[in-house]
Structure 1
Amino acid sequence: MSHPHDGDRSAMPNPEQNGPADQPWAQPQQPAPTYGGEPGAGYGAAPGGPPSGQQPAAGTSWTPATPPKKEAGFFRAMVDFKFQHFITVRFSSFLYIVAFLVAALLWLSQIISGIVFGAALGNLNSAFYEEPSFNAVPLLLAILFGWIPSVIALILMRLGLEFAVATVRTAQNTTKLAEAAAGR
């Protein structure tokens, strides 16, 4: 067993030292907030309303919370010249799928080009050899390394979409904060 003064930090502290009265930050300042807006309200209660499963008391005026604003449709957002409705967040997954398909088609076109160039090189060899042949080197290069430009294009598209979505979400959250600060 070690002595408390020889550097062992796991020893019990002296009860007279570092008590809760010496640490005002360790004492709770306010009671913990409850979900539902009022003390005793359950998780299913609406803010400012009666607890879950109970009726409002007679003579009290309770109105439910206002529903969130509906997002504008695609065509309404397209003709929004004030740019208050954004389509970037909703259509970024569609754009990424299209980019993925374009990247796959790019790789496939490089493989097809490898086949065509292999046949063309084999045909050029027919001047030296009496029969036409197929040169497999362009095809192998397209299969082994043709995916690299596709992946780079896909990474760049993903980075661009993530930047656009993050910018739009920042703008939306800033608008919500400004409206909440203005008391709307």
Structure 2
Amino acid sequence: MSRAERHRLSSLHDVELATLAAAGDRQAFGELVRRHGSAVRGLLRRMGASASEADDLAQDAFISAFESISEFRGEGAFAAWVKKIAARACMRRMQRAKRLRDLTAAGADDPAPVAHPDPGGRMDLDEALKALTDGERLCVSLCYGAGLSHGEAAEALNLPLGTVKSHVKRGLDKLRARLAPEDQSVEGRRDNG
């Protein structure tokens, strides 16, 4: 691809690129992958996938997106659309892994790791997310990591809206408690603000 063609594609809006991709322009779809691949992999990591799993799932999501690009109507952001596809793929993989664990394990789950700020005062959101239940992590990741509304997350996860809202609230409460500085409790902050 020439420099002029790369520049032309990089100047187009996602909806224009999706339209070109639906007409068979693979380079236009490649530009969409270049723009949104990192964000999709980041979402998958926040949902609990390892780096290599996130790469595999992102690739699968973009292949699925390419195969169904004509279904993207531009009513929402392309990034949100492909993130929904990726989230569904991640959930299917998690469900398969859970079924396998259930078949092979004696039923005892390991307790969730506790996230603490490091001595330098930095907090590790990824570690804190690991302490959430799968449902809480998925809902928080979709609503805050992918920017989906509660309704969109409910649709993507095939869950009732109330369940998604409950998972988000509980997940955020747990994250606030885990990520709060040790000398400041969540209750103290509620009383003051």
What's the TM-score bracket when you normalise by the shorter of the two chains?
under 0.3
| Structure with the greater alpha carbon radius of gyration | 1
Higher share of residues assigned helix: 2
Which fold has the larger relative contact order, with Cα–Cα distance below 8 Å and residues 6 or more apart in sequence? Answer: 2
When normalised by structure 1's length, the TM-score is 0.23
When normalised by structure 2's length, the TM-score is 0.22
